[in-house]
Amino acid sequence: MNAAAGLASRFAELFGGAPRIFRAPGRVNLIGEHTDYNDGFVMPAAIQVATHVAIAPAQSRRLTLRSENLGETVAFELDEPGPRPRGDWSDYVRGVAITIGRSGRPISGANLLIHGNIPLGAGLSSSASLEVAVAVALLADSGVTMDPTQVALLCQRAEDEFVGARCGIMDQFTACNARANHALMLDCRSLDAAHFEIPRDLRLAVCNTMVKHELASGEYNRRRQQCEEGVRVLSEFIPGIRALRDITMEQLQEFGSTLHPTILRRCRHVVSENARVQAAAQALSRGDLEEFGELMRCSHLSLRDDYEVSCPELDVMVELALGLEGVYGSRMTGGGFGGCTISLVKAEWVDSFSRAMAQGYEKQTGMRPEIYICSAADGASEELF
């Protein structure tokens, strides 16, 4: 029995009836970190780990959610006035349901059984994957069709307005629009996306430091504020700029002395990272993986030194990877302060890479890393079984 059929049969035992099943993937970002909320460029890919949602209509105006991973059931009325977050996983689901309702699309009561295999707190977008899987499930169950980019925007809004986390658009957009065997290059201002084929003999090796990024949300918001502060000051000298996306490195060099040194370093990361993403897209389109890898290495240094969102464990992992045979490049991925690194590895070297990373990382940190060898997956879909 495949995973979707298994989930459907457990749904039938729990709620009765035959559900439809939807999935939305996690993602790994190849390059372009902390650029999305600066209207910049990112280049993520979806990966095989995912959240699955089994759904069938209920007779009432109630959503009943069961998380298999947490062994918890939560229920709420769709029409409850003044809904408030509970501060747990169900907020992502409820936020999505409320945001769909507020967008003028009526959704129906339903039972949902949720199962995910994305490691939590590892920077692989388990929350965006949950939001998107639930959104496509609720919309389909209510007979509403919606363009995937609109679904992504709606989920981002739910996270911002209901859950209370001010994330960018990268994770939800990737969960909705990614394409198998391709990296997604996204302009986070226009939302124009291009898909770049990933060579068949290349693997995305995701290594988990096992350090949870708990510090991340406070520091994340602080970085956002620092970027906004940079734009505010620089706009006195460069009229018309709206975001760090609008600033060139030459302009930053010319007017950087007007910024507090910390703000200057934050801005330098974002401006240089945007240039790296564009160079990476060109490198990938001409098959120049050496160049792509070098841009990843520079991205990590910039995140470590200028943006200061790395941590010793991420640095150890990147150093280790860069010293191994068959590795084009390596860097931290996601928000930082823990979580995972991404390394581009030639397929034939993947086994020796995994062994050496596991041994080397444990020797230096005393922690056993998890290593996931991925290739790029498709965005959200209905699972037929």
* Residue ranges that bind ligand GLA, judged by CB under 6 A: 33-34, 36-37, 167-168, 170-171, 334-335
* CB 37 to ligand GLA: min, Å: 5
Cβ within 8 Å of residue 380, ≥6 positions away = 22, 23, 24, 25, 132, 133, 136, 148, 151, 175, 176
Which residue matches tokens 């309702």?
Answer: 101
Of the pair 36, 306, the CB lying nearest ligand GLA is at 36
Of the pair 36, 246, the CB lying nearest ligand GLA is at 36
Q: What DSSP string describes 210-239? A: ----TTHHHHHHHHHHHHHHHHHHHTTTST
CB nearest ligand GLA: which residue? 168
Per annotation, catalytic residue among 141, 171, 246, 306: 171
Half-sphere exposure for 38 (CA within 13 Å, toward CB): 32
Of the pair 113, 206, the CB lying nearest ligand GLA is at 206
**Separation of alpha carbons 266 and 255, rounded Å:** 14
Which residue matches tokens 């709420």?
Answer: 76
Half-sphere exposure for 174 (CA within 13 Å, toward CB): 34
Of the pair 32, 369, the CB lying nearest ligand GLA is at 32
Strand partners, 231: none
Residue 161 · residue 95 · CB < 8 Å: yes
3-class SS of residue 53: strand
* CB 269 to ligand GLA: min, Å: 11
Active site residue 171: yes
Q: What DSSP string describes 39-66? A: T-EEEEEEEEEEEEEEEEE-SSSEEEEE
* CB 336 to ligand GLA: min, Å: 7
* CB 274 to ligand GLA: min, Å: 12
Question: Per-residue b/e over 343-359, b at no fewer than 16 CB within 10 Å?
Answer: bbbbeebbeebbebbee
Of the pair 170, 252, the CB lying nearest ligand GLA is at 170
- Written as six digits, the tokens of 103 are 């967008």
* CB 186 to ligand GLA: min, Å: 11
Give catalytic residues, as residue numbers. 171
